[in-house]
Amino acid sequence: MVKKLTSKISFLLAISLSALSLSACSNNNSSQSENGASASSASTESISASSADTDSSSSNEDISDNTTSDIVIDDTEAIGIKTVDSNGDYYKDKQVYVQKIDGLSEDFMRGVDISSFLSEIESGVVFKDYEGNDIDSQGFFDLLADSGVNYVRIRVWNDPYDENGNGYGGGNCDIDRAISMGEYATNAGMKVYIDFHYSDFWADPNKQMCPKAWEGMSISEKETTLYDYTKESLEKLKDAGVDVGLVAVGNETDSGMAGVTSNSEKCKLYSAGSKAVREVFPDAYVAVHYSNPQRDYMEIAKMLDDTGVDYDVFATSYYPYWHGTLENLTDTLKNVADTYGKKVMVAETSWAYTLDDGDGSGNTVGKGSNDDSSEYSISVQGQSEVIRNVIKAVADVGDAGIGMFYWEPAWIPVNVYADTTDNASDTLKANSAAWEKYGAGWASSYASVYDPDDAGQYYGGSSWDNQALFDFAGYPLYSLKTFGYVYEGNEVEGMEFEGALTPSGITVSLGEDISLYLPKTVKGEYTGDVRLDLPVEWDDYSNIKEFGEYKLFGTVTDILSDEEDNTSRVIIKITVLPESLLENSDFETGDDSGWLLEGNGPWVDTEDVYRGEYGLHFWSQTAVEFTATQTYTAIHSGNYTASMMIQGGDAGDDQVITITVTNETKGTSVTAETKVTGWLEWTNPTTDVIEADAGDILTVTIYVKGASGAWGTIDDAYLYIE
C-alpha cells in the first residue's frame, strides 16, 4: 500500500502519531453472538514483552525487558461500543445499494489483498459468515468467493525475520505463508496474484530497501539472484498447486526496487523477474506497479518500452483520499493502454466505514486525517460505492482494463479496544503482544534493526482496521458483497432523495471557457448514506467576464424517481483568476521555464497540483530552502499584486514561506506570508498592492524554508495589475 510518499502523510506516519509505546501480553480468541456481544476464551501463553505505556508522547521501549502472562481479555464492552454507529445500528447489518455496471466482463479481476490473514488467525481472530457463524480458514476464503471475489493478492517478502527468527510483522509474509494462503484461495476457486516486494519488509514509493542477503551485490549479481529467487518461489507455489494468474515484479516501485534507484538498473531487475515468471507460469500476467496516477505515467511507460521490459500489466494504486479523481484514473490508464498496448488495473484501493480505531494503534483514516467525505460517506455504503466506482473506472478503459484489488479487507483488531472500558490498558497490552509474537500489526519491534527509521520508532498495530470489509469483531460487512453485486445491482428498500451535495469549486483563468470546467454531474444524497452521480444543468453564466469569485446555481435531477419535478438546487463556487503577467505562472510547460530556481528542494512535477497537470513540487531529505524568482518590466502604470497557491507539510515550526514583489526601480517591496499545514490544504498568500510606473522593473520572489523532509506544491504563481 501507499506509505510515506514525498507529498502526503502516509500509512507509516499516521501510525507514528498514535502507536508509540505499545507493548506486551497475551492474545485472545473471541466468539461473538449474533447481537454483537462476545465471550472471550483467551490463550494463556506467556509472551515476553515490555510493559505498556499508552501515552502517545512516549518512546517505544525494548520489548524484551518485561514479561506479563495469563491475562484473559474480555472485549465484550468494547465490541458493543465499536461495532455500532452513532444511532446504535450495527455496521454488519447495513445493506448497500449498488448500481449495476453494464457490460462488465465475468473475467474482470475483482480481488482483495489478504496478506495479514494468517497472522490474524494465529493471534486468535475469529471471522464470521453473514449469519454470524464462526468460520475456519477455508471457510473464510469460501466466503470471499461467495461474495463475488475471484482473485486474492498476497505480498511476498524475502526474509521478514531477524537473526533469531522473530518476525518483522505486517503478516510476516514470506513465500511459505503465501503458499498456505494461496492454497486456501485456489481451493475456493479463486486465482492468486503474487506481489513480490523484493525486500525483507515493506516496499513503497519512498522506501525500497535491499534484502539483507543481497546487500553489497552488483547489479548483475542482483539480476541473477532476483531471477533465481523469483523462479524458486514460483516453483514452490506451482508444486503446491496454487493457481497463480498474475505476478507483480515489485511493489509501488516509483523510487526504485531492491535497493537500486536508477531506472536503468530497476528495469534490469524487472526483466529478470519477468523472465522467471514466463518460465514457471507462462500463462500468468506479469505486472509492474506504481503508486500514483497523478504522476506522468506516460513518461514511465515510455521508459519501460524504451528499455524493453517484458510485462503485460501496468498497475497503479488508487486511494480516493490521496490520488485524485476517477476521471483522471481512467484517462491515465487508457493513455498507457492505448499507446503501449498494455493491460491496466488498480492494484490497491480502500475506504473507511467508520472513523473509530479498533485496536488502540491509530489509523491512516481518522478524525482530521484523510477523512474528507465530500465524495463518499464514511460508511459501509461509502465503501461499497468506492469498490463499485473504482471497478467501473478501470472497466471504462475498455478491454485493457482488467481488474481492481481492495487492500487488506481483513486486517481487523486482535482484541477490540475502547479507551473508556475498565480493561483498556490490558487490551492494549494483549494486542501489543500479538503484534510482536504473530506479526498482526504493521510492524514489530524486531523490524527495528532492518528498518530503524520507521519500524524502529513507530512499530505497532494495524492502521487499516476501519477500512476493512469486516467489522472489528469479525463479521463481514455487506460492502464485501459489492464484488458480486456489480453485475446485477442491488436495491435497498426505502431509499429517498435528500438533495444534492455542494461540489468542489472550480478555478479558471480569465478568458477560459468555463463550461470546460463545470462538472456534468454532482453527488446526490439518499437515505442510508447512498451517494449517486446525478446530472446537473447549470444556470446561465455569460455575465462572468472579470476576475474574482462567483457563485453559480444549477438544477440536479433525481435519476431514481419517476417524478419529473423531483429536483434539487445546488451551488458551485467559481474563481476566475486574473491574467498573469509572469511567464509560465502555472508551470504548465512541464518545466521551470521563465523561472530562476535556486537552492534545495524544488522541481516541476505532476503530483498534487492545484489545477492543470503541473506544479512546482518541493521535498528533500535534508532541510528545504529555495527561491523561485522572475522579473517583469511594467508596461502600464498602476497597482500590482502577486499571489500563489501552496500546500504541503512537515515544514516544522520555524518554516518561512513568502511571496514578495519588489519594485527594483523604486526600491519598494510588499510581502505576503503563509505556512503549509497539511496535504492539499491550499493557502493563497496575496501581497498588498505595489505601485509601479511604466518601465519599472518588478521582481517576484517565492521563498520557502522548511525542516528536513518538508514537502509541498506551488501552483498559479501570479503577478497582475489591478
| Number of CB atoms found within 10 A of residue 689's CB | 15
Number of helices (H), then strands (E), belonging to the chain: the values are 13, 31
Question: CA gyration radius for the chain?
Answer: 27
Q: Are 73 and 432 in contact (CB under 8 A)?
A: no
Tell me the residue ranges of DSSP E strands in 634-667: 638-649, 656-663
Identify the active-site residue in 61, 120, 265, 348.
348
Kind and range of the H or E element at 424? helix 424-438
The whole-angstrom separation of Cα 256 and Cα 427 is 39
DSSP class of residue 446 equals G
Which pairing describes strands 134-135 and 244-249: parallel, antiparallel, or unpaired? unpaired
C-alpha to C-alpha distances, 298 to 32, 238, 250, nearest whole angstrom: 50, 34, 19
Query: What whole-number distance in Å separates Cα of residue 630 and Cα of residue 651?
Result: 24
CA–CA distances in Å: residue 118 to residues 178, 183, 485, 548, 569 = 9, 12, 28, 57, 51
- Cβ-in-10-Å burial (0-12, 13-18, 19+) of 64 comes to middle
CB 206 within 8 A of CB 4: yes
B/e letters for 622-642, b = 16+ CB within 10 Å, e = fewer, are ebbbbbbebebebeeeeebbb
Q: How far apart are the first and last CA of the chain?
A: 47
Whole-angstrom distance, CA of residue 30 vs CA of residue 48: 22
| Alpha carbons 118 and 241: distance in angstroms, whole number | 19
Task: Say whether 348 is catalytic.
Answer: yes
Catalytic residue among 77, 252, 385, 408: 252
Find the length of the chain.
Answer: 722
Contact 621, 702 (CB under 8 A): no
The grid coordinates listed for 696 are 519599472
Residue with cell 505562472: 585
Question: Which grid cell sits at 348?
Answer: 490497491
What residues act catalytically? Answer: 252, 348
